[in-house]
């Protein structure tokens, strides 16, 4: 049975949402039909975390450089895939939820990122988006009832089809640090980097 | 027979006059190239940035598996960027293209875009109605002006037999 393996070892480190607090994250992996998870959890749920009380300047790419509070999860990710085909390279899909002022669970962002292909350590910033309500009235109604618009299938953010009719608002970002290791990928004739 | 995997993400855009944007993209390759798996065209979501106006986020995944017998007609990625206002009207903001990198590995590509300026009357119309001149055929380039920026991350892989 000839296949190549890819391992991702790392953590969902933190979230940067300037206006929101009490956040937790659900993550899962989305991959093509030729991929199989060998080891590790395919999905998971982090703890709910609160931002630190001291305001600090954030160094993240998508912050406007003003006071931004980081919400730290430090959630470990350890998963191995095997595959015969590079098509459908796995993506890490994240959904961030939080508590609003009245203590209800609302969605704060959806995001997805491809696992890097080159072996080594990578720091990834995932910008997240939230679907927009269809009209200002619906937006007010959803804020009152605490039911912000959500995606029916949270993997929607990781697929290409059907997104042309959606309107989203981008807010916040996640920081993920991951180490990638590959095995036998050269035997498949695939080159992942230009260095030999 | 060589195979080329173009796996990546269209990250987003920056530098446009207004940030509520979507992009239509397509891979264009020569005759000798065949697509085995994946979609070679698509359209991203419309993003209305919440806090940071300088960056429009699409994060649109792209995954195409080509086979080819020839290097001629190496694939390129063409873009049309549209602005959607709150009434749902679409205004063309730019055209751009970039060649898929020819070396294996992870690449970060910036795509510059431009928009046809048209005559003075066209520009007055465009200012009031939001209807800018558009190209009839995407292969033509005529009187371009205004350069803005898109960003994509391509992770390309190659198989050679």
Confidence (pLDDT) at B133: 62
Confidence (pLDDT) at A58: 46
* CA-wise closest residue to A130 among B21, B44, B16, B49: B49
A178-192 residue pLDDT tens: 999 988 887 777 776
Integer CA distances (angstroms), A62 to A25, A129, B50, in order: 19, 13, 12
* CA gap A11, A72 in Å, rounded: 11
Question: Are A193 and B57 in contact (CB < 8 Å)?
Answer: no
Q: Which chain B residues are closer than 8 Å to A171 by Cβ?
A: 50-51
State the residue for tokens 């001149």.
Answer: B133
Question: Are A132 and B56 in contact (CB < 8 Å)?
Answer: no
* CA gap A29, A114 in Å, rounded: 10
Rounded to two decimals, the ipTM of the complex is 0.78
Confidence (pLDDT) at A61: 40
Instruction: List average pLDDT for each run of 10 residues in chain B, which is 161 residues long.
Output: 85 84 87 88 87 82 88 84 83 83 81 74 67 60 57 60 51
Question: Are A169 and B159 in contact (CB < 8 Å)?
Answer: no
CATH T-level assignment (fold) for domain B2-111: Immunoglobulin-like (2.60.40)
Question: Are A19 and B51 in contact (CB < 8 Å)?
Answer: yes
H helices within chain B, ranges in order? 120-129
Q: How many residues does chain B have?
A: 161
Hey, of B20, B22, B38, B61, which one would you mutate to test binding to chain A, going by the most A CBs within 10 A of its CB? B61
Confidence (pLDDT) at B55: 83
CB-based contact, A192 to chain B, within 8 Å: yes
- Classify strands A167-183 and B46-47 as parallel, antiparallel or unpaired: parallel
What CATH number does the domain located at A4-128+169-182 have?
2.60.40.150
* CA gap B116, B119 in Å, rounded: 9
Domain boundaries, chain A: 4-128+169-182
């Amino acid at each position: 049975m000839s296949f190549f393996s890819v391992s991702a070892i790392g953590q969902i480190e933190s979230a940067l949402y300037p206006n929101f607090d009490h956040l937790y994250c659900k993550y899962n992996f989305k991959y093509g039909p030729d991929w199989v998870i060998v080891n590790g959890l395919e999905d998971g749920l982090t703890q709910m975390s609160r931002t630190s009380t001291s305001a600090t300047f954030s160094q993240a790419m998508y912050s406007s450089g003003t006071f931004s509070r980081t919400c730290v999860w430090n959630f470990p990710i350890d998963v191995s895939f095997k595959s015969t085909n590079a098509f459908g390279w796995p993506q890490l899909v994240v959904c961030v939820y939080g508590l609003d002022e009245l203590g209800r669970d609302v969605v704060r962002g959806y995001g997805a990122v491809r696992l890097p292909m080159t072996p080594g350590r990578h720091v990834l910033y995932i910008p997240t988006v939230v679907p927009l309500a269809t009209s200002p009235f619906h937006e007010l109604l959803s804020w009152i009832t605490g039911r912000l618009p959500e995606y029916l299938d949270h993997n929607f953010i990781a697929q290409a089809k059907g997104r042309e009719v959606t309107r989203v608002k981008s807010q916040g970002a996640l920081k993920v640090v991951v180490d990638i290791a590959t095995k036998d990928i050269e035997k498949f004739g695939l080159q992942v980097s230009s260095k030999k | 027979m060589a195979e080329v995997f173009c796996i990546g993400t269209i990250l987003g855009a920056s530098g446009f006059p207004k940030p509520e944007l979507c992009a239509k993209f397509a891979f264009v390759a020569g005759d000798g190239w065949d697509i085995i798996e994946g979609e070679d065209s698509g359209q991203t979501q419309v993003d209305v940035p919440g806090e940071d106006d300088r960056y429009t986020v699409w994060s649109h995944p792209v995954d195409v598996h080509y086979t080819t017998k020839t290097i001629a007609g190496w694939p390129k990625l063409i873009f049309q960027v549209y602005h959607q206002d709150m009434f749902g009207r679409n205004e063309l903001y730019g055209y751009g293209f970039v060649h898929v990198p020819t070396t294996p590995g992870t690449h970060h590509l910036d795509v510059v875009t431009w928009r046809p300026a048209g005559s003075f009357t066209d520009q007055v119309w465009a200012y009031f109605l939001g209807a800018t001149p558009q190209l009839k055929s995407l292969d033509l380039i005529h009187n371009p002006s205004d350069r803005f920026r898109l960003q994509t991350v391509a992770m390309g892989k190659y198989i050679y037999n």
